[in-house]
Chain A
Amino acid sequence: MKLVTAIIKPFKLEEVKEALTGIGITGLTVSEASGYGRQRGHVEVYRGAEYTVDLVPKVRVEVLADDDIVDRVVDTIANAARTDRIGDGKVWVTTVDRIVRVRTGEQGPEAI
Protein backbone atom coordinates (compact mmCIF):
# COMPACT_ATOMS: atom_id res chain seq x y z
CA MET A 1 0.00 0.00 0.00
CA LYS A 2 1.32 3.38 -0.99
CA LEU A 3 0.54 7.04 -0.43
CA VAL A 4 0.97 9.15 -3.53
CA THR A 5 1.51 12.83 -2.70
CA ALA A 6 1.44 15.41 -5.47
CA ILE A 7 2.12 19.14 -5.31
CA ILE A 8 0.54 20.73 -8.35
CA LYS A 9 -0.56 24.07 -9.74
CA PRO A 10 -4.00 24.96 -8.36
CA PHE A 11 -5.62 25.40 -11.76
CA LYS A 12 -4.55 21.86 -12.74
CA LEU A 13 -6.60 20.23 -9.97
CA GLU A 14 -9.70 19.61 -12.09
CA GLU A 15 -7.71 17.86 -14.82
CA VAL A 16 -5.87 15.71 -12.29
CA LYS A 17 -9.14 14.70 -10.63
CA GLU A 18 -10.70 13.76 -13.96
CA ALA A 19 -7.68 11.75 -15.02
CA LEU A 20 -7.60 9.85 -11.72
CA THR A 21 -11.31 9.10 -11.96
CA GLY A 22 -10.58 7.80 -15.46
CA ILE A 23 -8.23 5.10 -14.09
CA GLY A 24 -10.65 4.05 -11.38
CA ILE A 25 -9.39 6.02 -8.39
CA THR A 26 -12.42 6.61 -6.13
CA GLY A 27 -11.07 8.90 -3.43
CA LEU A 28 -8.44 11.50 -2.75
CA THR A 29 -7.64 14.29 -0.33
CA VAL A 30 -6.85 17.83 -1.41
CA SER A 31 -5.34 20.60 0.68
CA GLU A 32 -4.02 24.05 -0.02
CA ALA A 33 -0.27 24.36 0.25
CA SER A 34 2.35 26.95 -0.43
CA GLY A 35 6.03 26.71 -1.13
CA TYR A 36 8.72 27.15 -3.67
CA GLY A 37 11.07 25.08 -5.76
CA ARG A 38 13.63 26.20 -8.28
CA GLN A 39 11.15 28.72 -9.68
CA ARG A 40 11.21 30.72 -6.41
CA GLY A 41 8.49 33.36 -5.94
CA HIS A 42 7.51 36.57 -7.59
CA VAL A 43 7.77 40.30 -6.88
CA GLU A 44 4.79 42.51 -5.98
CA VAL A 45 4.90 46.32 -5.84
CA TYR A 46 2.75 48.41 -3.51
CA ARG A 47 3.05 52.20 -3.76
CA GLY A 48 6.50 51.70 -5.20
CA ALA A 49 7.71 49.35 -2.45
CA GLU A 50 8.77 45.93 -3.71
CA TYR A 51 7.89 42.77 -1.83
CA THR A 52 9.32 39.40 -2.81
CA VAL A 53 6.65 36.77 -2.35
CA ASP A 54 8.62 33.54 -1.95
CA LEU A 55 5.79 31.16 -1.21
CA VAL A 56 3.69 30.32 -4.22
CA PRO A 57 0.16 28.89 -3.75
CA LYS A 58 -0.05 25.18 -4.65
CA VAL A 59 -2.47 22.32 -4.18
CA ARG A 60 -1.46 19.11 -2.44
CA VAL A 61 -3.25 15.94 -3.68
CA GLU A 62 -2.98 12.76 -1.63
CA VAL A 63 -4.09 9.40 -2.96
CA LEU A 64 -3.89 6.00 -1.31
CA ALA A 65 -3.24 3.24 -3.85
CA ASP A 66 -2.50 -0.45 -3.85
CA ASP A 67 0.95 -1.54 -5.07
CA ASP A 68 -0.26 -2.80 -8.45
CA ILE A 69 -1.74 0.51 -9.55
CA VAL A 70 0.57 3.02 -7.87
CA ASP A 71 2.80 3.61 -10.91
CA ARG A 72 -0.22 4.33 -13.09
CA VAL A 73 -1.48 6.81 -10.49
CA VAL A 74 1.85 8.64 -10.44
CA ASP A 75 2.08 8.80 -14.24
CA THR A 76 -1.54 9.89 -14.56
CA ILE A 77 -1.06 12.76 -12.12
CA ALA A 78 2.20 13.85 -13.70
CA ASN A 79 0.70 13.84 -17.20
CA ALA A 80 -2.45 15.69 -16.15
CA ALA A 81 -0.61 18.32 -14.14
CA ARG A 82 2.06 19.09 -16.71
CA THR A 83 2.17 22.49 -18.41
CA ASP A 84 5.86 22.26 -19.41
CA ARG A 85 6.45 25.49 -17.56
CA ILE A 86 8.54 26.04 -14.45
CA GLY A 87 6.64 25.41 -11.21
CA ASP A 88 4.59 22.40 -12.33
CA GLY A 89 5.27 20.66 -9.03
CA LYS A 90 6.29 17.17 -7.89
CA VAL A 91 4.83 13.72 -7.24
CA TRP A 92 6.26 11.22 -4.77
CA VAL A 93 5.36 7.87 -3.27
CA THR A 94 5.67 6.69 0.31
CA THR A 95 4.97 3.29 1.80
CA VAL A 96 1.96 2.99 4.09
CA ASP A 97 1.98 0.49 6.98
CA ARG A 98 -1.67 0.37 7.90
CA ILE A 99 -5.02 1.73 6.73
CA VAL A 100 -8.36 1.66 8.55
CA ARG A 101 -11.71 2.71 7.10
CA VAL A 102 -13.25 4.63 10.00
CA ARG A 103 -16.91 3.72 9.38
CA THR A 104 -16.56 -0.03 8.89
CA GLY A 105 -13.28 -0.89 10.52
CA GLU A 106 -12.02 -2.55 7.31
CA GLN A 107 -8.24 -2.85 7.18
CA GLY A 108 -5.49 -2.93 4.56
CA PRO A 109 -6.21 -2.88 0.80
CA GLU A 110 -9.94 -3.33 1.52
CA ALA A 111 -9.91 0.09 3.18
CA ILE A 112 -8.43 1.97 0.20
Chain B
Amino acid sequence: MDQINTGDTAWVLISGALVMLMTPGLALFYGGMVRAKSALNMLMMSFTALGIVTIVWITIGYTLAFGTDSAGGFIGDLKQIGLVDTLDQTVGAPGHKIPMLAFVMFQLTFAVVTTALLSGAIADRTKFSAWIVFVIAWSLLVYVPAAHWAFSFDGGQGGWIGDRLGALDFAGGTAVEINSGASALALALVVGKRIGFRKDPMRPHNLPLVLLGAGLLWFGWLGFNAGSALAANGTAAVAMINTQIAAATGALAWIVYEKAKDGKATTLGIASGAVAGAVAITPACGFVTPLGALAIGLLAGVICAWAVSQKYRLGFDDSLDVVGVHGVGGVVGMIAIGFVAAIVANPAGANGLFYGGGFSLLGKQLIACIGMAVFAFVATWIIATVITKTMGFRADPEDEIAGLDTTQHAESAYDLAGVAGGGLVGGSHPLSSLRRHHDEEN
Protein backbone atom coordinates (compact mmCIF):
# COMPACT_ATOMS: atom_id res chain seq x y z
CA MET B 1 0.00 0.00 0.00
CA ASP B 2 1.21 3.53 -0.78
CA GLN B 3 1.93 5.81 2.11
CA ILE B 4 -1.44 6.87 3.49
CA ASN B 5 -2.24 10.18 5.15
CA THR B 6 -3.38 9.18 8.63
CA GLY B 7 -5.29 12.40 9.36
CA ASP B 8 -7.30 12.09 6.15
CA THR B 9 -7.86 8.40 6.74
CA ALA B 10 -9.14 9.00 10.27
CA TRP B 11 -11.60 11.61 9.05
CA VAL B 12 -12.99 9.45 6.24
CA LEU B 13 -13.35 6.46 8.59
CA ILE B 14 -15.25 8.61 11.10
CA SER B 15 -17.37 10.08 8.32
CA GLY B 16 -18.33 6.59 7.17
CA ALA B 17 -19.59 5.86 10.67
CA LEU B 18 -21.43 9.22 10.81
CA VAL B 19 -23.22 8.58 7.52
CA MET B 20 -24.08 5.02 8.56
CA LEU B 21 -26.05 6.54 11.46
CA MET B 22 -28.17 8.54 9.01
CA THR B 23 -30.08 5.45 7.95
CA PRO B 24 -31.34 4.51 11.44
CA GLY B 25 -31.99 8.25 11.81
CA LEU B 26 -34.03 8.21 8.62
CA ALA B 27 -35.90 5.17 9.90
CA LEU B 28 -37.01 7.14 12.98
CA PHE B 29 -37.69 10.29 10.95
CA TYR B 30 -39.99 8.33 8.65
CA GLY B 31 -41.27 5.93 11.32
CA GLY B 32 -42.66 8.74 13.43
CA MET B 33 -44.41 10.28 10.42
CA VAL B 34 -46.56 7.29 9.49
CA ARG B 35 -49.56 5.93 11.33
CA ALA B 36 -48.90 3.75 14.38
CA LYS B 37 -50.22 0.63 12.65
CA SER B 38 -47.37 0.65 10.12
CA ALA B 39 -44.54 2.22 12.11
CA LEU B 40 -42.45 -0.94 12.36
CA ASN B 41 -42.74 -1.61 8.64
CA MET B 42 -41.40 1.88 7.99
CA LEU B 43 -38.43 1.29 10.30
CA MET B 44 -37.89 -2.11 8.74
CA MET B 45 -37.63 -0.67 5.23
CA SER B 46 -34.61 1.41 6.23
CA PHE B 47 -32.96 -1.33 8.26
CA THR B 48 -33.34 -3.86 5.44
CA ALA B 49 -31.65 -1.34 3.14
CA LEU B 50 -28.72 -1.33 5.57
CA GLY B 51 -28.47 -5.08 5.21
CA ILE B 52 -29.16 -5.59 1.51
CA VAL B 53 -27.34 -2.62 0.00
CA THR B 54 -24.23 -3.49 1.99
CA ILE B 55 -24.10 -6.84 0.20
CA VAL B 56 -24.96 -5.38 -3.19
CA TRP B 57 -22.24 -2.77 -2.73
CA ILE B 58 -19.37 -5.02 -1.72
CA THR B 59 -20.16 -7.74 -4.26
CA ILE B 60 -20.76 -5.81 -7.45
CA GLY B 61 -21.97 -2.27 -6.73
CA TYR B 62 -18.68 -0.68 -5.75
CA THR B 63 -16.74 -1.93 -8.73
CA LEU B 64 -19.44 -0.83 -11.19
CA ALA B 65 -19.64 2.58 -9.55
CA PHE B 66 -15.97 3.30 -8.95
CA GLY B 67 -14.06 0.85 -11.13
CA THR B 68 -12.36 2.19 -14.25
CA ASP B 69 -14.92 3.66 -16.62
CA SER B 70 -15.93 1.13 -19.25
CA ALA B 71 -18.73 2.84 -21.17
CA GLY B 72 -18.23 6.52 -21.93
CA GLY B 73 -18.87 7.86 -18.46
CA PHE B 74 -21.89 5.71 -17.69
CA ILE B 75 -20.57 2.74 -15.71
CA GLY B 76 -17.40 1.29 -14.23
CA ASP B 77 -15.87 -2.12 -14.80
CA LEU B 78 -16.00 -5.44 -12.96
CA LYS B 79 -12.36 -5.78 -11.92
CA GLN B 80 -13.05 -5.30 -8.22
CA ILE B 81 -16.00 -7.63 -7.91
CA GLY B 82 -16.30 -8.84 -4.32
CA LEU B 83 -13.77 -6.16 -3.34
CA VAL B 84 -10.91 -8.30 -4.60
CA ASP B 85 -7.97 -6.15 -5.57
CA THR B 86 -8.98 -3.39 -3.13
CA LEU B 87 -7.33 -4.54 0.08
CA ASP B 88 -3.92 -2.99 -0.55
CA GLN B 89 -5.10 -0.10 -2.73
CA THR B 90 -5.34 3.59 -1.96
CA VAL B 91 -7.40 6.43 -3.37
CA GLY B 92 -6.99 10.20 -3.18
CA ALA B 93 -4.75 12.98 -4.36
CA PRO B 94 -0.98 12.78 -3.80
CA GLY B 95 -0.31 13.46 -0.14
CA HIS B 96 -3.92 12.68 0.71
CA LYS B 97 -4.00 8.95 0.07
CA ILE B 98 -6.47 6.92 2.11
CA PRO B 99 -7.05 3.15 2.05
CA MET B 100 -9.49 2.23 -0.71
CA LEU B 101 -11.55 0.27 1.81
CA ALA B 102 -12.16 3.48 3.81
CA PHE B 103 -13.54 4.97 0.61
CA VAL B 104 -15.57 1.82 -0.10
CA MET B 105 -17.17 2.05 3.34
CA PHE B 106 -17.85 5.78 3.07
CA GLN B 107 -19.53 5.36 -0.32
CA LEU B 108 -21.41 2.29 0.86
CA THR B 109 -23.23 4.35 3.48
CA PHE B 110 -24.33 6.77 0.72
CA ALA B 111 -25.78 3.89 -1.28
CA VAL B 112 -27.65 2.63 1.77
CA VAL B 113 -29.23 5.91 2.84
CA THR B 114 -30.18 6.93 -0.71
CA THR B 115 -31.99 3.63 -1.24
CA ALA B 116 -33.70 3.86 2.15
CA LEU B 117 -34.94 7.37 1.27
CA LEU B 118 -37.30 5.91 -1.32
CA SER B 119 -39.35 4.09 1.32
CA GLY B 120 -40.89 7.43 2.23
CA ALA B 121 -42.67 7.63 -1.12
CA ILE B 122 -44.55 4.36 -0.63
CA ALA B 123 -45.18 4.28 3.12
CA ASP B 124 -47.93 2.11 4.57
CA ARG B 125 -48.91 0.11 1.52
CA THR B 126 -46.31 -2.24 0.04
CA LYS B 127 -45.60 -5.91 0.48
CA PHE B 128 -42.41 -6.42 2.44
CA SER B 129 -41.13 -8.99 -0.07
CA ALA B 130 -41.64 -6.52 -2.92
CA TRP B 131 -39.58 -3.90 -1.08
CA ILE B 132 -36.73 -6.39 -0.66
CA VAL B 133 -36.66 -7.11 -4.39
CA PHE B 134 -36.95 -3.42 -5.18
CA VAL B 135 -33.99 -2.56 -2.94
CA ILE B 136 -31.74 -5.07 -4.69
CA ALA B 137 -32.79 -3.92 -8.15
CA TRP B 138 -32.81 -0.18 -7.49
CA SER B 139 -29.50 0.03 -5.63
CA LEU B 140 -27.77 -1.90 -8.42
CA LEU B 141 -29.50 -0.56 -11.51
CA VAL B 142 -30.14 3.05 -10.50
CA TYR B 143 -27.94 4.11 -7.61
CA VAL B 144 -24.74 2.47 -8.84
CA PRO B 145 -24.74 4.18 -12.27
CA ALA B 146 -25.78 7.48 -10.65
CA ALA B 147 -22.86 7.26 -8.22
CA HIS B 148 -20.51 6.57 -11.11
CA TRP B 149 -21.78 9.61 -13.00
CA ALA B 150 -21.40 11.99 -10.08
CA PHE B 151 -18.57 10.65 -7.95
CA SER B 152 -16.16 8.70 -10.18
CA PHE B 153 -13.19 10.87 -11.06
CA ASP B 154 -10.37 9.73 -13.33
CA GLY B 155 -8.79 12.77 -14.94
CA GLY B 156 -11.68 13.43 -17.29
CA GLN B 157 -12.25 9.74 -18.01
CA GLY B 158 -14.63 9.07 -15.10
CA GLY B 159 -18.38 9.66 -14.67
CA TRP B 160 -20.10 11.95 -17.17
CA ILE B 161 -21.63 14.42 -14.70
CA GLY B 162 -18.73 15.12 -12.39
CA ASP B 163 -15.62 14.27 -14.36
CA ARG B 164 -16.55 14.83 -18.01
CA LEU B 165 -19.27 17.51 -18.02
CA GLY B 166 -17.69 19.27 -15.07
CA ALA B 167 -20.92 20.03 -13.21
CA LEU B 168 -20.22 20.77 -9.55
CA ASP B 169 -21.77 18.33 -7.10
CA PHE B 170 -19.75 18.10 -3.91
CA ALA B 171 -21.58 15.39 -1.97
CA GLY B 172 -24.49 14.11 -4.01
CA GLY B 173 -27.08 16.67 -5.06
CA THR B 174 -27.53 14.58 -8.20
CA ALA B 175 -26.71 10.97 -7.28
CA VAL B 176 -28.37 11.14 -3.86
CA GLU B 177 -30.97 13.90 -3.78
CA ILE B 178 -32.30 14.41 -7.32
CA ASN B 179 -31.90 10.69 -7.92
CA SER B 180 -34.00 9.76 -4.89
CA GLY B 181 -36.53 12.52 -5.55
CA ALA B 182 -37.17 11.61 -9.20
CA SER B 183 -37.20 7.91 -8.35
CA ALA B 184 -39.65 8.54 -5.52
CA LEU B 185 -42.01 10.27 -7.93
CA ALA B 186 -41.96 7.31 -10.32
CA LEU B 187 -42.40 4.89 -7.44
CA ALA B 188 -45.33 6.76 -5.91
CA LEU B 189 -47.04 6.95 -9.33
CA VAL B 190 -46.60 3.25 -10.13
CA VAL B 191 -47.46 1.95 -6.66
CA GLY B 192 -50.43 4.29 -6.29
CA LYS B 193 -52.08 6.07 -3.40
CA ARG B 194 -52.73 4.73 0.06
CA ILE B 195 -56.29 3.61 0.63
CA GLY B 196 -58.09 6.63 2.06
CA PHE B 197 -55.54 9.18 0.81
CA ARG B 198 -57.00 12.68 1.32
CA LYS B 199 -60.03 11.18 3.13
CA ASP B 200 -58.70 9.45 6.24
CA PRO B 201 -56.61 11.31 8.77
CA MET B 202 -52.99 10.26 8.17
CA ARG B 203 -51.23 12.47 10.62
CA PRO B 204 -47.81 11.53 12.07
CA HIS B 205 -48.21 9.21 15.04
CA ASN B 206 -45.03 10.14 16.95
CA LEU B 207 -43.42 13.53 16.37
CA PRO B 208 -40.72 13.12 19.05
CA LEU B 209 -39.43 10.18 16.97
CA VAL B 210 -39.43 12.43 13.90
CA LEU B 211 -37.35 15.01 15.73
CA LEU B 212 -34.95 12.39 17.07
CA GLY B 213 -34.54 11.10 13.53
CA ALA B 214 -34.03 14.60 12.16
CA GLY B 215 -31.36 15.21 14.79
CA LEU B 216 -29.51 12.04 13.85
CA LEU B 217 -29.77 12.96 10.17
CA TRP B 218 -28.40 16.43 10.86
CA PHE B 219 -25.51 14.92 12.86
CA GLY B 220 -24.71 12.32 10.24
CA TRP B 221 -24.98 14.88 7.45
CA LEU B 222 -21.90 16.67 8.78
CA GLY B 223 -19.95 13.52 7.90
CA PHE B 224 -21.84 13.05 4.64
CA ASN B 225 -20.83 16.48 3.37
CA ALA B 226 -17.53 17.24 5.10
CA GLY B 227 -16.39 13.64 4.63
CA SER B 228 -16.89 14.11 0.89
CA ALA B 229 -13.72 16.23 0.91
CA LEU B 230 -12.05 12.82 1.43
CA ALA B 231 -9.43 14.70 3.44
CA ALA B 232 -9.14 16.43 6.79
CA ASN B 233 -8.54 19.84 5.27
CA GLY B 234 -9.90 23.32 4.75
CA THR B 235 -12.47 22.18 2.21
CA ALA B 236 -13.87 19.72 4.77
CA ALA B 237 -14.19 22.58 7.26
CA VAL B 238 -15.96 24.75 4.68
CA ALA B 239 -18.32 21.88 3.90
CA MET B 240 -19.11 21.27 7.55
CA ILE B 241 -19.84 24.86 8.55
CA ASN B 242 -21.91 25.30 5.38
CA THR B 243 -23.94 22.21 6.20
CA GLN B 244 -24.64 23.50 9.68
CA ILE B 245 -25.62 26.93 8.34
CA ALA B 246 -27.96 25.62 5.64
CA ALA B 247 -29.69 23.10 7.94
CA ALA B 248 -30.22 25.88 10.48
CA THR B 249 -31.56 28.42 8.00
CA GLY B 250 -33.65 25.77 6.24
CA ALA B 251 -35.29 24.88 9.55
CA LEU B 252 -36.03 28.50 10.39
CA ALA B 253 -37.22 29.39 6.90
CA TRP B 254 -39.69 26.49 6.88
CA ILE B 255 -41.33 27.48 10.18
CA VAL B 256 -41.50 31.14 9.19
CA TYR B 257 -43.18 30.11 5.93
CA GLU B 258 -45.74 27.88 7.64
CA LYS B 259 -46.36 30.43 10.40
CA ALA B 260 -47.24 32.95 7.73
CA LYS B 261 -49.28 30.49 5.66
CA ASP B 262 -50.97 28.18 8.18
CA GLY B 263 -50.76 30.17 11.39
CA LYS B 264 -48.43 28.01 13.51
CA ALA B 265 -44.78 26.99 13.57
CA THR B 266 -44.64 23.20 13.93
CA THR B 267 -42.15 20.57 15.06
CA LEU B 268 -42.68 18.64 11.82
CA GLY B 269 -41.94 21.86 9.97
CA ILE B 270 -38.66 22.57 11.76
CA ALA B 271 -37.52 18.95 11.27
CA SER B 272 -38.47 19.04 7.58
CA GLY B 273 -36.79 22.39 7.07
CA ALA B 274 -33.52 21.21 8.60
CA VAL B 275 -33.51 18.26 6.22
CA ALA B 276 -34.45 20.47 3.25
CA GLY B 277 -31.59 22.86 4.03
CA ALA B 278 -29.13 19.99 4.40
CA VAL B 279 -30.35 18.49 1.11
CA ALA B 280 -29.85 21.72 -0.81
CA ILE B 281 -26.38 22.37 0.59
CA THR B 282 -25.23 18.81 -0.16
CA PRO B 283 -24.02 19.53 -3.71
CA ALA B 284 -22.91 23.04 -2.80
CA CYS B 285 -21.26 22.67 0.62
CA GLY B 286 -17.69 22.51 -0.67
CA PHE B 287 -18.07 25.23 -3.30
CA VAL B 288 -19.83 28.17 -1.64
CA THR B 289 -19.08 30.68 1.09
CA PRO B 290 -20.86 30.60 4.46
CA LEU B 291 -23.11 33.44 3.30
CA GLY B 292 -23.87 31.48 0.15
CA ALA B 293 -24.87 28.53 2.37
CA LEU B 294 -27.09 30.81 4.40
CA ALA B 295 -28.95 31.89 1.27
CA ILE B 296 -29.24 28.33 -0.03
CA GLY B 297 -30.72 27.14 3.28
CA LEU B 298 -33.28 29.93 3.37
CA LEU B 299 -34.26 29.31 -0.23
CA ALA B 300 -34.58 25.56 0.29
CA GLY B 301 -36.68 25.97 3.45
CA VAL B 302 -39.24 28.15 1.70
CA ILE B 303 -39.32 26.38 -1.67
CA CYS B 304 -39.56 22.88 -0.15
CA ALA B 305 -42.25 23.97 2.33
CA TRP B 306 -44.25 25.14 -0.67
CA ALA B 307 -43.38 22.06 -2.75
CA VAL B 308 -44.65 19.47 -0.28
CA SER B 309 -48.20 20.79 -0.55
CA GLN B 310 -48.23 20.41 -4.33
CA LYS B 311 -48.73 16.63 -4.21
CA TYR B 312 -52.32 17.17 -3.12
CA ARG B 313 -52.95 19.46 -6.06
CA LEU B 314 -51.22 17.11 -8.49
CA GLY B 315 -52.78 14.02 -6.93
CA PHE B 316 -49.87 11.69 -6.19
CA ASP B 317 -49.24 10.14 -2.79
CA ASP B 318 -45.54 10.66 -2.12
CA SER B 319 -46.43 9.97 1.48
CA LEU B 320 -43.45 11.43 3.30
CA ASP B 321 -42.44 14.00 0.67
CA VAL B 322 -39.29 12.53 -0.82
CA VAL B 323 -40.02 14.47 -4.01
CA GLY B 324 -40.80 17.76 -2.31
CA VAL B 325 -37.83 17.69 0.05
CA HIS B 326 -35.08 15.68 -1.68
CA GLY B 327 -35.95 16.16 -5.33
CA VAL B 328 -36.81 19.82 -5.10
CA GLY B 329 -34.13 20.55 -2.47
CA GLY B 330 -31.52 18.84 -4.63
CA VAL B 331 -32.46 20.94 -7.65
CA VAL B 332 -32.38 24.12 -5.55
CA GLY B 333 -28.84 23.29 -4.40
CA MET B 334 -27.57 22.27 -7.84
CA ILE B 335 -28.95 25.39 -9.54
CA ALA B 336 -27.81 27.67 -6.71
CA ILE B 337 -24.25 26.50 -7.34
CA GLY B 338 -24.51 28.08 -10.79
CA PHE B 339 -25.11 31.43 -9.08
CA VAL B 340 -23.14 31.44 -5.83
CA ALA B 341 -20.22 29.03 -6.30
CA ALA B 342 -17.03 30.89 -5.42
CA ILE B 343 -13.39 30.05 -6.03
CA VAL B 344 -12.61 31.82 -2.77
CA ALA B 345 -14.42 28.98 -0.96
CA ASN B 346 -12.64 26.24 -2.91
CA PRO B 347 -9.85 26.77 -5.44
CA ALA B 348 -10.83 23.48 -7.08
CA GLY B 349 -14.36 24.78 -7.65
CA ALA B 350 -15.58 27.54 -9.94
CA ASN B 351 -17.20 30.96 -9.89
CA GLY B 352 -20.96 31.13 -10.37
CA LEU B 353 -22.90 33.89 -12.10
CA PHE B 354 -22.83 36.21 -9.07
CA TYR B 355 -19.04 35.89 -8.85
CA GLY B 356 -18.41 36.70 -12.49
CA GLY B 357 -18.32 33.12 -13.72
CA GLY B 358 -20.78 33.54 -16.56
CA PHE B 359 -23.52 31.18 -17.64
CA SER B 360 -21.49 28.09 -18.52
CA LEU B 361 -21.50 26.65 -14.98
CA LEU B 362 -25.23 27.23 -14.64
CA GLY B 363 -25.74 25.40 -17.92
CA LYS B 364 -23.73 22.40 -16.74
CA GLN B 365 -25.68 22.32 -13.47
CA LEU B 366 -28.96 22.28 -15.40
CA ILE B 367 -27.81 19.47 -17.69
CA ALA B 368 -26.71 17.43 -14.68
CA CYS B 369 -30.11 17.91 -12.97
CA ILE B 370 -32.10 16.98 -16.05
CA GLY B 371 -29.92 14.02 -16.97
CA MET B 372 -30.10 12.58 -13.49
CA ALA B 373 -33.82 13.19 -13.04
CA VAL B 374 -34.82 11.67 -16.39
CA PHE B 375 -32.67 8.58 -15.90
CA ALA B 376 -33.85 8.02 -12.31
CA PHE B 377 -37.52 8.51 -13.18
CA VAL B 378 -37.51 6.22 -16.20
CA ALA B 379 -35.36 3.47 -14.67
CA THR B 380 -37.35 3.42 -11.45
CA TRP B 381 -40.62 3.44 -13.35
CA ILE B 382 -39.50 0.33 -15.23
CA ILE B 383 -38.29 -1.50 -12.10
CA ALA B 384 -41.46 -0.69 -10.16
CA THR B 385 -43.66 -1.69 -13.08
CA VAL B 386 -41.90 -5.02 -13.51
CA ILE B 387 -42.34 -5.77 -9.79
CA THR B 388 -46.00 -4.71 -9.95
CA LYS B 389 -46.69 -6.92 -12.98
CA THR B 390 -44.88 -9.99 -11.63
CA MET B 391 -44.93 -10.44 -7.87
CA GLY B 392 -47.12 -7.41 -7.09
CA PHE B 393 -45.92 -4.36 -5.19
CA ARG B 394 -48.98 -3.59 -3.06
CA ALA B 395 -49.99 -5.36 0.10
CA ASP B 396 -53.48 -6.87 0.12
CA PRO B 397 -56.03 -4.10 0.69
CA GLU B 398 -57.16 -5.84 3.88
CA ASP B 399 -53.60 -5.98 5.16
CA GLU B 400 -53.07 -2.33 4.31
CA ILE B 401 -56.18 -1.34 6.23
CA ALA B 402 -55.31 -3.53 9.20
CA GLY B 403 -51.78 -2.12 9.22
CA LEU B 404 -48.55 -3.53 7.86
CA ASP B 405 -46.97 -4.21 11.25
CA THR B 406 -49.20 -7.10 12.19
CA THR B 407 -49.78 -8.35 8.63
CA GLN B 408 -46.20 -8.15 7.29
CA HIS B 409 -44.17 -8.65 10.45
CA ALA B 410 -46.52 -10.15 13.09
CA GLU B 411 -45.53 -7.40 15.53
CA SER B 412 -46.98 -4.24 17.04
CA ALA B 413 -44.96 -1.09 17.64
CA TYR B 414 -46.67 -0.16 20.88
CA ASP B 415 -48.19 -2.10 23.75
CA LEU B 416 -49.78 0.75 25.62
CA ALA B 417 -53.42 -0.26 25.47
CA GLY B 418 -53.64 -2.06 28.79
CA VAL B 419 -56.10 -4.91 28.53
CA ALA B 420 -56.49 -4.69 24.77
CA GLY B 421 -52.74 -4.65 24.15
CA GLY B 422 -51.90 -7.32 26.67
CA GLY B 423 -49.63 -5.16 28.81
CA LEU B 424 -51.76 -5.72 31.91
CA VAL B 425 -53.04 -9.20 31.17
CA GLY B 426 -51.61 -12.35 32.69
CA GLY B 427 -50.54 -13.34 36.16
CA SER B 428 -54.04 -14.57 36.84
CA HIS B 429 -52.86 -17.28 39.20
CA PRO B 430 -54.57 -16.98 42.58
CA LEU B 431 -52.38 -15.10 45.01
CA SER B 432 -53.04 -17.73 47.65
CA SER B 433 -51.39 -20.44 45.56
CA LEU B 434 -48.39 -18.19 44.95
CA ARG B 435 -48.05 -17.68 48.69
CA ARG B 436 -48.29 -21.39 49.29
CA HIS B 437 -45.57 -22.00 46.72
CA HIS B 438 -43.41 -19.36 48.38
CA ASP B 439 -43.95 -20.94 51.81
CA GLU B 440 -43.03 -24.37 50.52
CA GLU B 441 -39.77 -23.07 49.09
CA ASN B 442 -38.82 -21.69 52.45
Contact = CB atoms under 8 A, between A and B. Distances in A.
Interface of A: 44-53
B312 interface: yes
A45 B262 CA distance: 7
23 contacts: A44-B203, A45-B258, A45-B262, A45-B263, A46-B203, A46-B204, A46-B266, A46-B268, A47-B268, A47-B269, A47-B272, A47-B305, A47-B308, A47-B321, A48-B258, A48-B261, A48-B262, A48-B305, A49-B312, A50-B262, A51-B202, A51-B203, A52-B201
B201 A47 contact: no
Chain A to chain B: the 7 pairs with minimum beta-carbon distance, closest first? A48-B309, A45-B262, A51-B201, A47-B308, A51-B203, A46-B203, A46-B268
A50 B262 CA distance: 9
Contacts of B264: 45
Say which size band chain B's interface belongs to: 10 to 19
Nearest to B200: A51
A60 to B, nearest CB: 15
A61 B264 CA distance: 34
Interface string B243-268: 00000000000000010011110101
Given A47-B272, A47-B308, A48-B258, A53 B201 contact: yes
A3 to B, nearest CB: 21
A30 to B, nearest CB: 13
Contacts of B201: 51-53
B250 to A, nearest CB: 14
A29 B337 CA distance: 64
Main SS at interface, chain A: strand
Interface in B211-269: 258, 261-264, 266, 268-269
Nearest to A45: B262
Interface of B: 201-204, 258, 261-264, 266, 268-269, 272, 305, 308-309, 312, 321
A44 B201 CA distance: 10
Contacts of B266: 45-46
Contacts of A52: 201
Given A45-B263, A50-B262, 18 more contacts: A44-B203, A45-B262, A45-B266, A46-B204, A46-B266, A46-B268, A47-B268, A47-B269, A47-B272, A47-B321, A48-B262, A48-B305, A48-B308, A48-B309, A49-B312, A51-B201, A51-B203, A53-B201
A51 B204 CA distance: 11
Contacts of A51: 201-203
Contacts of B272: 47
Contacts of A48: 258, 261-262, 305, 308-309
Contact of A49 (B263, B305, B309): B309
A63 B309 CA distance: 49
Nearest to B309: A48
A97 to B, nearest CB: 25
A49 B308 CA distance: 9
